Copies of this chain bind each other. A is one copy, B any other.
């Protein structure tokens, strides 16, 4: 069996033009550009908790990086570097090769260098650390939502949770929905271009990515910004007609693993944001507003203008 070092060399050591020193030493060396700050995030993905153990390794490699790039996107940072630590039950080389191909496909798509890592034997687990750059003082933070801001969400949150429900036999999706829902779950896109545009154009005040669920993640913004909000059900993305409407709504509001962006912006910028949506070919939904009420309070308003009680706020690993 090839050694740990040989497996790393074969599958994970590829050119790193953005690094001063890539994999193979005690540390990687990088230099940030003048006037830039570094945005850094780390995420652990565990078989059985974050992905099904039989997940396709190529898709898993993609997703392991993409979910971290989503955090960079939510700060408006440009992805630059990543480090991967992985634990594997056995050195199954075809599996490792497919995982590496998926990881580097994502890295190449977003222009990221994989500069280091660690591998070991143990339960199937990955931990990825991603580093991006953002000009000094311009990062999109969670704590900057302002009174009267619009609340926006990108894309179609809930598809990933529908895909998971389908895979777990909790629903049977119509044929037309299977592919997009599984793609959202297994090969999510990080909204990097959206984050960059929102930051560069000064369009957003606060932003977060939807990893725990729309209500839960919006709740984080409200708490950190010490504001309240209304979310209008009628202005959320229409539910896919072919899905069970109760389940689809639940997935849209409380499903995790979406990696869309939620952001707040001044109402004066609506036309610019609408134009951005067209340019990025990415729907952006103006679905709420920041109001003066108990900080952190989120009110869901249904089609008739009635407040709906909120349960099931999102995904909490220890909740």
Chain A interfacial positions (CB closer than 8 Å to B):
1-5, 7, 20-21, 24-32, 34, 37-44, 46, 48-50, 70-72, 74-75, 77, 81, 83-87, 91, 115-123, 125, 127, 129, 131-132, 134, 136, 139, 141-143, 207-209, 224, 316-319
Contacts and interface: CB of A to CB of B under 8 A. Distances in A.
A24 B142 contact: yes
Question: So how many copies of this chain end up in the complex?
Answer: 2
Nearest to A48: B122
B42 A2 contact: no
Contacts of A4: 316-319
A144 to B, nearest CB: 10
A70 to B, nearest CB: 8
A318 B3 contact: yes
B38 A32 contact: yes
A129 B129 contact: yes
Contacts of A25: 75, 141-143, 224
14 contacts: A25-B75, A26-B207, A27-B75, A30-B38, A31-B38, A32-B38, A42-B117, A43-B118, A44-B86, A48-B122, A120-B317, A121-B318, A123-B123, A129-B129
Contacts of A72: 26-27
A244 to B, nearest CB: 28
A123 B46 contact: yes
A27 B39 contact: yes
A35 to B, nearest CB: 10
B122 A46 contact: yes
Residue in A26, A39, A40 with the greatest tally of chain B CB atoms within 10 Å: A26
Q: List the 3 shortest-distance A-B pairs measured between CB atoms, nearest first.
A: A127-B127, A46-B122, A27-B39
Contacts of A83: 40-42, 129
Given A27-B74, A30-B38, A40-B129, 13 more contacts: A1-B318, A4-B316, A26-B72, A27-B41, A28-B39, A29-B40, A29-B134, A42-B83, A44-B127, A46-B120, A83-B129, A119-B318, A123-B123
A318 B142 contact: no
